[in-house]
């Protein structure tokens, strides 16, 4: 039996499900019936930690999750997010207490639920002190509208300030063999404060698969068009990294995607990857990664191969990087100056 991992007061399957892909970001939304089948298949496979957000499909992803799971809502540890939203067709950050409370009420309605298990600040609002935003989230806990408070794309300083106002249950950060930034400070901070580290894009937005994602097939609305590592000039230089990953996966007896997920699980009991997919086959592959065990030598071998400096191109462009608070490696800050 697969060992569970703890988030808040709940034991969940070690591999969660990022629901974004079904409605947002990588192309046209998945047809609702197919999306519903995939969400229920995830539950059937034991995956019971679902992650959505206000901005995913401008609220449509939350509606999709609600309509798909129906009475199975009680079987899910459900997370959503606020602060990052779309208004009049434009992305906005609004961490004001009143805006957070209004966003929560709207999410509760779309999710057709009385309470959200985990409610994150999707991004920091530079115009609102983190203490004010987390104070509003604390009041939502007191009101019984949310159970636990989370943060996303925030670094050590903001995590500690937020935690001083109200206990933070989870911090969501991009973390994978291809993106090692949480190891600068967030990993240790979460461990010290008993906070779950929820790793989004754990399969490198499709890069850590075999075959890897081909940028030539990008949909016109695929947000990877704006990520430097997927550019025509950078992406080919990253493909050589996969040769060693394939060799390691063959030795372990798993797929490259499973290797990437198992590596994250080996990084600490408080780490929970949430890969997203629109494919039933990929879903099964991801969920099965919970039963893949890497020994210390294999983890060290992967650490040594996928060094932060080995990736060609920064994680985000300057515009997107300016909206997050996660730490960067020194070589990254030098290259952006």
Q: Which residues are catalytic?
A: 56
Cβ pair 315, 67 in contact under 8 A: no
User: In sequence order, what are the beta bridge partners of 150?
Assistant: 120, 170
32-44 helix and 280-288 helix, angle to the nearest 10 degrees? 20
Cβ pair 66, 111 in contact under 8 A: yes
How does strand 10-12 pair with strand 5-7? antiparallel
Return d(Cα 202, Cα 20) in angstroms, integer.
Answer: 14
- What's the length of the chain? 337
C-alpha 38, offset from chain centre? 18
Q: Which residue has the tokens 């499973």?
A: 258
Picking from 194, 132, 131, the residue whose alpha carbon sits closest to that of residue 168 is 194
Picking from 280, 212, 322, the residue whose alpha carbon sits closest to that of residue 35 is 280
Buried b (16+ CB within 10 A) or exposed e, 78-87: bbbbbbbbee
Report the first-to-last Cα separation within the chain, whole angstroms.
50
Cβ pair 208, 244 in contact under 8 A: no
> By 3-state DSSP, what share of the chain in percent is helix, strand and coil, each rounded to 5?
45, 15, 35
Task: Tell me which DSSP letter residue 213 carries.
Answer: P
Q: Is 44 exposed, middle or buried (0-12, 13-18, 19+ CB in 10 A)?
A: exposed
């Amino acid at each position: 039996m697969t060992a569970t991992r703890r988030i808040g007061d709940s034991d969940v399957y070690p591999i969660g499900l990022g629901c974004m892909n079904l409605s947002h970001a990588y192309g046209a939304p998945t047809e609702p019936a197919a999306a519903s089948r995939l969400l229920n298949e995830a539950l059937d496979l034991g995956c019971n930690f679902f992650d959505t957000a206000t901005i995913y499909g401008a609220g449509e992803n939350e509606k999709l999750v609600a309509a798909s799971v129906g009475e199975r809502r009680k079987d899910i540890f459900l997370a959503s997010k606020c602060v990052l939203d779309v208004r009049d067709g434009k992305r906005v950050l609004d961490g004001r207490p009143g805006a957070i409370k209004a966003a929560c009420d709207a999410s509760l309605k779309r999710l057709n639920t009385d309470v959200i298990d985990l409610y994150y600040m999707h991004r920091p609002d530079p115009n609102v002190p983190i203490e004010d935003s987390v104070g509003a989230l604390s009041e939502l806990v007191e009101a019984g509208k949310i159970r636990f408070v989370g943060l996303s794309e925030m670094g050590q300083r903001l995590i500690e300030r937020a935690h001083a106002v109200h206990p933070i249950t989870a911090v969501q950060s991009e973390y994978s063999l291809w993106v090692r930034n949480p190891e600068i400070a967030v990993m240790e901070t979460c461990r010290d404060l008993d906070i779950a580290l929820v790793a989004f894009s754990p399969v490198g937005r499709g890069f850590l698969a075999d075959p890897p994602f081909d940028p030539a097939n990008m949909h016109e609305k695929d947000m990877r068009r704006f990520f430097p590592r997927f550019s025509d000039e950078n992406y080919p230089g990253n493909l050589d990294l996969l040769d060693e990953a394939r060799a390691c996966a063959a030795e372990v007896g798993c797929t490259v995607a499973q290797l990437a997920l198992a590596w994250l699980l080996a990084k600490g009991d408080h780490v929970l990857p949430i890969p997203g997919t629109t494919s039933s086959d990929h879903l099964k592959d991801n969920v099965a990664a919970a039963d893949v065990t890497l020994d210390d030598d294999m983890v060290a071998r992967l650490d040594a191969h996928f060094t932060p400096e080995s990736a060609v191109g920064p994680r985000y462009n300057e515009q997107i990087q300016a909206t997050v608070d996660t730490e960067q490696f020194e070589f990254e800050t030098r290259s952006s100056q």
